[in-house]
């Protein structure tokens, strides 16, 4: 596959599976957009492994392929040439061009091993660690593509990633429950007396609503902290956090939605929110 075809493939993949990030990519400098899309395409591939397998082993094999692809970079054992995979080819190009650390990608892949199993999320600390290794890592990598890599930006990325991760857990509750996965942390469900079996049966209860309200408060605190830090962040890094504008809108709508009927966002709505935020504080000026 030619470089142009690989880039187009990744763009189509991100537009279909992660429109929030795709919309934000339209407002970053053109010279950075290709790497942004490569990062998002890789993230979509790895984050959705569970959607394409019915057993853990095939999921682990897919994730191991990605580990091998990023550490070997030429030929993964028994799985074909990396250059034959357009997402891998584009990601390796971005990693080389922007000196992106392979360790961040390895931790992200390892975090998604949890997804292919049905083990419950043990506690809030584990859920936040999962968010740091996945969503927060993507914010930090996008900032690095935009030329900013500092401890302050890393801390900002942590708050942003945890906020996004918690919101996505609430959005995905119906899908996770249907396959008997529970990302709501056990210490939180125990605190609010949530019965897992009722969640798996899509039964709305007062304890579940109470637990989700608790999770929304945690997400709001993380989002508020991220936005406060963003106001003091280097101008070059701010657009890396543009998806937070959409996250904030979703979080507000989650306040009035039912647990198993979370709000959906139209593409036009996502584009409108992202466009307005791209020229407003704290993302600009």
Q: What is the pLDDT of residues 228-281, one digit of tens each?
A: 999 999 998 999 999 999 999 999 999 999 999 999 989 999 999 999 999 999
Residue labelled with tokens 């709508």: 253
Cα separation values, 85 from 21, 41, 80, Å: 21, 12, 9
Task: Based on the fold, state whether residues 80 and 169 are members of the same structural domain.
Answer: no
Task: Based on the fold, state whether residues 145 and 238 are members of the same structural domain.
Answer: yes
Task: Based on the fold, state whether residues 270 and 129 are members of the same structural domain.
Answer: yes
DSSP at 80 = E
Please name the residues in contact with 96: beta carbons below 8 A apart, sequence gap of 6 or more: none
Structural domain of residue 79, as residue ranges?
Answer: 1-117
Res 83: pLDDT: 67
Task: Based on the fold, state whether residues 84 and 185 are members of the same structural domain.
Answer: no
Task: Based on the fold, state whether residues 281 and 173 are members of the same structural domain.
Answer: yes
| CATH number of the domain where residue 251 is located | 1.10.600.10
Q: How confident is the model at residue 72 (pLDDT cuts 50, 70, 90)?
A: confident
Task: Based on the fold, state whether residues 196 and 279 are members of the same structural domain.
Answer: yes
Domain closes at, from 69, 97, 117: 117
Cα separation values, 178 from 54, 58, 112, 182, 198, Å: 13, 20, 19, 10, 11
Provide the whole-model pTM: 0.94
Domain closes at, from 117, 142, 159: 117
Res 74: pLDDT: 45
Spatial separation of the C-alpha atoms in residues 195 and 197, rounded to whole Å: 6
Please name the residues in contact with 254: beta carbons below 8 A apart, sequence gap of 6 or more: 167, 170, 171, 212, 216, 262, 263
Asked if 142 contacts 240 with a C-beta cutoff of 8 angstroms, the reply is yes
Asked if 136 contacts 166 with a C-beta cutoff of 8 angstroms, the reply is no
Task: Based on the fold, state whether residues 122 and 227 are members of the same structural domain.
Answer: yes
Task: Based on the fold, state whether residues 220 and 254 are members of the same structural domain.
Answer: yes
State the chain's mean pLDDT as an integer.
93
Q: What is the pLDDT of residues 127-177, one digit of tens each?
A: 999 999 999 999 999 999 999 999 999 999 999 999 999 999 999 999 999
Q: How confident is the model at residue 54 (pLDDT cuts 50, 70, 90)?
A: confident
Q: In this prediction, what percent of the chain has a pLDDT beyond 90?
A: 91
Q: Where are the alpha helices (DSSP H) in the chain?
A: 3-17, 19-25, 30-47, 56-72, 86-98, 102-111, 124-131, 137-145, 151-171, 173-178, 186-191, 196-200, 206-230, 235-238, 243-254, 267-278
Task: Based on the fold, state whether residues 103 and 69 are members of the same structural domain.
Answer: yes
Cα 258 from chain centroid? 23
Q: Residue 49: is its pLDDT beyond 50?
A: yes
Task: Based on the fold, state whether residues 177 and 260 are members of the same structural domain.
Answer: yes
Q: How confident is the model at residue 76 (pLDDT cuts 50, 70, 90)?
A: very low
Asked if 25 contacts 37 with a C-beta cutoff of 8 angstroms, the reply is yes
Task: Based on the fold, state whether residues 101 and 139 are members of the same structural domain.
Answer: no
Spatial separation of the C-alpha atoms in residues 145 and 94, rounded to whole Å: 8
| First-last CA distance in the chain | 41
Domain closes at, from 101, 117, 133: 117
**What secondary structure does DSSP assign to 230-245, as a single string?**
HTTS-HHHHGGGTHHH
Q: Residue 78: is its pLDDT beyond 60?
A: no
Task: Based on the fold, state whether residues 150 and 187 are members of the same structural domain.
Answer: yes
Count of domains observed in the chain: 2
Res 131: pLDDT: 98
Asked if 201 contacts 137 with a C-beta cutoff of 8 angstroms, the reply is no
Asked if 78 contacts 141 with a C-beta cutoff of 8 angstroms, the reply is no
């Amino acid at each position: 596959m030619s470089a142009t075809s690989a880039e187009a493939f990744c763009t189509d993949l991100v537009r279909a599976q992660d429109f929030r990030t795709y919309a934000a990519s339209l407002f970053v400098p053109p010279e950075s957009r290709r790497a942004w899309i490569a990062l998002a395409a890789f993230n979509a591939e790895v984050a959705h492994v569970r959607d394409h397998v019915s057993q853990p082993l095939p999921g682990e094999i897919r994730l191991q392929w990605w580990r091998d692809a990023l550490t070997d970079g030429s030929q993964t054992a028994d799985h074909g040439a990396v250059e034959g995979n357009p997402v891998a080819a584009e990601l390796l190009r971005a990693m080389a061009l922007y000196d992106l650390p392979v360790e961040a990608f390895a931790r992200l892949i390892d975090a998604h091993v949890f997804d292919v199993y049905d083990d419950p999320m043990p506690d809030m600390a584990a859920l936040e660690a999962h968010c740091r290794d996945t969503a927060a890592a993507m914010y930090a990598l996008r900032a690095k593509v935009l030329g900013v890599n500092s401890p302050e930006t890393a801390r900002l990325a942590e708050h942003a990633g945890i906020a996004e991760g918690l919101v996505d857990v609430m959005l995905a509750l119906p899908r996770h429950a249907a396959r008997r996965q529970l990302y709501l942390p056990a210490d939180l469900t125990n605190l609010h007396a949530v019965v897992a079996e009722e969640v798996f049966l899509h039964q709305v209860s007062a304890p579940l609503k109470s637990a989700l309200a608790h999770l929304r408060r945690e997400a709001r605190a993380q989002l508020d902290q991220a936005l406060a830090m963003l106001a003091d962040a280097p101008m070059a890094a701010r657009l890396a956090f543009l998806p937070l504008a959409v996250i904030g809108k979703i979080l507000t709508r989650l306040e009035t939605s039912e647990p198993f009927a979370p709000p959906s966002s139209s593409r036009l709505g996502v584009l409108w929110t992202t466009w307005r935020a791209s020229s407003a504080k704290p993302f600009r000026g």
